[in-house]
Amino acid sequence: MRSLSVLLLVACGVAPVSGGDELSGHGDPLQAARCAPYPWTVNVGPSGQAAAQAELATLSPGATLQWSAVRNTPAGIFGARFELECPDGNDALEALFDFAGAHPALFRIDPAEWARRPVPCSAVSETRSTLNTSRLTYAGQPARADTFAWSWRREKERVIVETVGGSWIPPASYADRLALGRCPALDVEAAEKTVRNAKLGYTVFNWCAPQGSHTYAAQKPDLLETDPGAAFEWSEQGGSVVLRKVHRARFVLDPSSWTPPLISSDANCPLPGGAPYVGFEVDFDSVTGELLRQKPGIGCIVC
């Protein structure tokens, strides 16, 4: 489990892509087509491993580098000693991201894309502790999938970073920014038809002992609630990084749809006070409308 959920992108001085209709492609088939080929294969650029290794040798001789050839970013840095000036009253996390941003050949991140919750220098333990962060944006739009983790310790007025790891992709190329800015928004009406035609799976439990698996077919009063917008997610496929635009939603069952098995299932995440709250978390591909994932229960994991 993450010990800290603190969640880059300078693309040749290009301003963030507007979310308006001009580039979003929403309602414009020609613009939407410019999001193709889709799912999008990310341009991670020419190999940066040699440059990263040379930078690491300068910053921390003796440290070892593990490299992801697919993502073209570090997979791990071990045995390092990165010394960050960190007097009391300063933010240790800001010092870390300033350091990473100052050495793009090694870290290949843009600090502006990552969320940060301040960590006072005085709060860093003298014994090694591990933290991690998540990416907020990619190509100027919301993103989720990337993690950046590290271990550090306090030493007088400095913080010593000893390991770095995680799973992230480099800042988006100019071409990727333009193309991904044209990927259309989710057709909510079509998405609702999709989930209403789907068989949503759930398992009935008796005190965490499974009693059987079932499927649910939508009823007319049930309601689809969508998030305000989508986020980019990527995965490694066939030696490449493939990216989708994913829109999360919840399919909330009307009380008239509840049955005793549903109330006793992992689709029920009771509200404070014990009242049933029955439904499913569903993820759609914003571009294709495909139902990518479904999970019984909204906001909890039962058993």
189-238 pLDDT tens trace: 999 999 999 999 999 999 999 999 999 999 999 999 999 999 999 999 99
Return phi, psi of residue 134, to 5°.
-125, 150
Q: How confident is the model at residue 303 (pLDDT cuts 50, 70, 90)?
A: confident
Q: How far apart are the first and last CA of the chain?
A: 17
Report the pLDDT averaged over residues 253-261. 98
Q: What is the chain's alpha carbon radius of gyration, rounded to the nearest angstrom? A: 23
What is the pLDDT at residue 35? 83
Q: How confident is the model at residue 11 (pLDDT cuts 50, 70, 90)?
A: very low
Question: What are the sequence ranges of the domains in the chain?
Answer: 5-178, 185-296
E runs forming strands in the chain: 5-6, 40-41, 64-68, 73-78, 82-85, 129-134, 137-138, 141-142, 147-155, 158-167, 200-206, 209-216, 223-226, 231-237, 240-252, 279-285, 291-296
- What does the pLDDT look like over 259-284, one tens digit per residue? 999 999 999 999 999 999 999 999 99
Eight-class DSSP state of 211: E
The residues with which 6 forms a beta bridge, in sequence order, are 133
Strands 5-6 and 129-134: parallel
Q: In whole angstroms, give the CA distance from residue 27 to residue 29.
A: 6
Residues 6+ away with beta carbon under 8 Å from 223? 251, 252, 254
What is the pLDDT at residue 30? 43
Mean pLDDT score across all residues of the chain: 89
Q: In whole angstroms, give the CA distance from residue 120 to residue 125.
A: 11
Nearest CA-CA partner of 85 in 56, 55, 124: 124
Coil/strand/helix, residue 203: strand
Alpha helical stretches, state H, the chain: 21-24, 29-33, 49-59, 92-102, 104-107, 174-181, 188-196, 260-263
